[in-house]
Structure 1
Amino acid sequence: MVEALEEAGHRCVVHLYDRHGSPVDFHAKVIREHWPTMKARIIDARGQFDPADAYVATSWQSAHVIGKQVSAPGRRLYFVQDYEPYFYPRGSEYALADDTYRFGFRTIALGGMVAEMLRSAHGIQVDRIPFGTDLSVYRLTNHGSRSGVVFYAKPRIARRGYSLAMAALGEFNQRHPDQEIHLFGDPHVRPPFPARVHGTVSSGALAELYNKCVAGIAISFTNISLVPYEMLACGAIPVVNEDAFARAELGNPAVRWAAATPSALAHELSAAVATSDVAAAAERAASAAESLDWGEAKKAFVRIVENEIFRDGDESTRSANRQEDRL
């Protein structure tokens, strides 16, 4: 989204807030490596905020930073990518995350689940942008045979359903011992069944893995993750936990929906690998995902930010000032 703003002519600064005090240079190196075309300055959010036309929070923590530390005039926006109170048990962090939706920032919601939660739980009118996939990386390259299943294993992130998925994969392994199970994410997981643990992988290597596999489990108990979109683009069939918001957002007919139980997830994985023509199923899944790049989301994001900045001005002011805007 920062790249999209820069492409539209805006000058951006990224303020990083690390509650644990890690050096900004460490994070900046990662950002420069993976988003090499982004030109924005990257500085510590605990320092001075220079005057800007808009300040955009991207998490509940950074919403508090903007609310507390920024006294300069400028529009306040909040890019809400998940309903973050659900990340925690009912306690202090839940309450602090929940409180940010009362700050009065103009809110941009990623997807329908977040938009509906903010409307129903907080009465907030939001601007919604759609999900996308980096189709330059995640695309169908394997037009032949496939084997095996894949899972994003993050045991420390409750919303990713690690224990549930591992139980399902154990049951799947009993039914299909010939199908290799691939785990990526946490390199320290020790599954109680035969599996290949890949640990942290690059996006390119992940796309290759998706292209090898027939299917995968893609669980999220909050906003739907990017994993099922990436799988689909590569022709792997995602098995996703049943959710009304997720169904509305992820309309690809290739998705297999399952109740959030080990047996139900294992059943859908089994059905996917037992498909008579796996290659044809992969082609159909990837074909339906071809329009899901980030283009529409980027256009919408820029349009919303510009509307907020220039809502009291006219088009001539907007055109004259665009190159000087700082976000």
Structure 2
Amino acid sequence: MTIFRIARYLEEFGHSVSFLIQNPSEHKSGEAARVTINTHFQPFNGKVELFSGETPEASGDALIATDRFTCYPVEAMGGFFRKFYFVQDFEPSFYPVGSEYLLSEATYHFDFDCLCAGEWLNRMMRERYRRWSVSWPLAYDASVYGPGDGTVKRSDGRIALYARYVTSRRAVELALMALDILQERCVAFEVDFFGWDLGHLDVSYGYRDHGVLDGPQLAALYRQAAVGVVFSATNHSLVNKEMMACGLPVVDLDLETVRAIFPEGCMAFAQPTPEGIADRLQSLLEQPQQRDALRTAGEAFVNDLSWEKSARIVEAALRERVSLASSQKAAP
């Protein structure tokens, strides 16, 4: 969604944008893929091409890799003034240390300029890998996520928990163990699981298994819950900003990746253990004044964010680096 959103804004800013989809598995034609982009993601008018095997013939000002897999064809392609890496996470951490980890990390040594989702990734690309890098913030769609009209009453014991357990970095198991501890402590709560279908759980506390929700459904949930829980053990998630925009106090893991983005006071930082998470949740559930303080600070933190502003940062970086490469190429 973030890739398509930035592409949409670049189009609105007057740029010509095309997508090259590597090793397609869902679509038989570029036009079919473009229909999917417009139907399920963002408006997009540009050309979409599919490729596998040999890299396609293409040319332009900027060529942007969007993950470690696409870095390899981008590295092999010519015809562009400058190449970029749209870095949304530290992808080596998606794998055990071994071949896939090393092949992922190798992409950070390619001569790409890095467009990083947040300051933690930006610092890593600059300091560890010596890349030219710029940071743009993950934002939220203010037309969907906001405090609402105030007519919906929040439940004091309702926890909205991002439960995409199929993605290891979401650390859902830690949250589930923390909930068991809360139950043992006789804390009153119920849970709204979302992000993936969990099915039946052998637990004694009340819960709802929402599966995958769309934006308006998520916003409605965030306006009803007392506490939001979303973990990411690598780069931070944009879900917590969407929660904050809806006035929902957020619990995330006390990690460098999170601290690099969120200042003290706008989020409840939990030690990344079942007990540490349970302690944080219990404190918030039992002390509404803590929730109120986090709600106010969280809303203030995200108030100035917008996808258009983030896209403008990406645009400025593209212009700067392409212009420099163009002038260097033209110099005698």
State the TM bucket, normalised to the shorter chain: 0.7 to 0.9
What is the aligned residue count?
312
Equivalence for 1:32: 38
Aligned to 1:6: 11
Q: Give SS of 1:186's match.
A: coil
Flag structure 2 segments of 5+ consecutive residues without an equivalent.
1-5, 328-332
Is structure 2 residue 134 aligned with structure 1 residue 127? yes
CA distance in 2, matches of 1:252, 1:233: 17
- TM-score w.r.t. length of structure 1: 0.87
Q: Tell me, in whole angstroms, the C-alpha distance in 1 between the residues paired with 2:263 and 2:36.
A: 33
Q: 1:116 to 1:162 in 2, by over 3 A?
A: same
Who is 1:59 aligned against? 67
Equivalent pairs: percent with the same residue? 27
What residue number does 1:317 align with? none
Contact 1:82 1:222 in 2 (8 A): yes
- Alignment partner, residue 206 of structure 1: 218
Structure with bigger RCO (C-alpha 8 Å, 6+ apart) = 1
Q: 1:50 aligns with which of 36, 42, 58?
A: 58
Counterpart CA distance in 2 for 1:24 and 1:171 is: 49
Q: 1:288 deviation in Å?
A: 3.5
Which residue number corresponds to residue 85 of structure 1?
92
**C-alpha contact (below 8 Å) 2:229/2:251 kept by paired residues:** yes
Q: Residues 230, 105 of structure 1: CA spacing in aligned structure 2 closer, same or farther, 3 A cutoff?
A: same
Equivalences for residues 134-145 of structure 1 within 5 A: 134-141=141-148, 143=150, 145=153
The unaligned stretches of length 5 or more in structure 1 are 315-327
User: Which amino acid is 2:211 matched to?
Assistant: G
Aligned partners of 1:57 and 1:282: how far apart in 2?
37
Determine whether 1:153 maps to 2:153. Answer: no
Give the residue type in structure 1 aligned to 2:237: S
- Asked if the contact 1:252/1:288 (under 8 Å) is kept, the reply is no
Residue 312 of structure 1: CA displacement?
5.3
Deviations 1:43-74 (A, max 9, x none): 21437342222111111111112123x23343
Larger deviation: 150-159 or 283-292? Answer: 283-292
Letter in 2 for 1:221: A
Instruction: Check whether the contact 1:75–1:309 (CA below 8 A) recurs between aligned residues.
Output: yes
SS in 2 for 1:307: helix
The CA deviation at 1:239 is 0.6
Letter of the structure 2 residue corresponding to residue 62 of structure 1: T
Indicate which of 223, 228, 244 corresponds to 1:232.
244
Q: Structure 1 residues 27 and 214 mapped into 2: Cα distance closer, same or farther (>3 Å)?
A: farther
Structure 1, 27-36 or 126-135: larger mean CA deviation: 27-36
* Residue type at the aligned position of 1:215: V
| 1:91 CA drift (Å) | 1.6
2:310 is matched with which residue? 297
Q: What is the aligned partner in structure 2 of residue 15 from structure 1?
A: 20
Look up the match of 1:180: 190
- Is the counterpart of residue 246 in structure 1 residue 246 in structure 2? no
Q: Cα distance, 1:207 vs. partner?
A: 0.9
Measured in 2, the distance between the counterparts of 1:32 and 1:292 equals: 24
CA distance in 2, matches of 1:311, 1:119: 19
For each residue in 1:271-321, what CA deviation from the matched residue of structure 2 results, as whole angstroms up to 9, or x when unmatched? Answer: 22223355675355324421122233111100011112222568xxxxxxx
Matches within 5 A, 1:60-75: 60-68=68-76, 70-75=77-82
- Once residues 75 and 199 of structure 2 are traced to their aligned partners in structure 1, the CA distance between those partners, rounded to angstroms, is 39
- Return closer, same or farther for 1:39/1:152 CA change in 2, 3 Å cut-off: same
| Counterpart secondary structure, 2:166 | coil
Distance 2:324 2:132 in 1: 17
Question: Which residue does 2:3 correspond to in 1?
Answer: none
> Displacement, 1:214?
0.9
The aligned amino acid for 1:8 is F
CA distance in structure 2 between the partners assigned to 1:6 and 1:189 by the alignment: 41
SS in 1 for 2:266: coil
Which amino acid in structure 1 is aligned with residue 56 of structure 2? Q
Deviations 1:106-165 (A, max 9, x none): 111111111222234323231222221222211111636312001111222111101111
> Which letter maps to 2:295?
A
Indicate the SS of the match to 1:77. strand
Alpha-carbon RMSD: 2.3
**8 Å contact 1:168–1:262 — kept in the other structure?**
yes
Q: 1:44 aligns to what SS in structure 2?
A: strand
Between 1:188-197 and 1:162-171, the stretch displaced more is 188-197
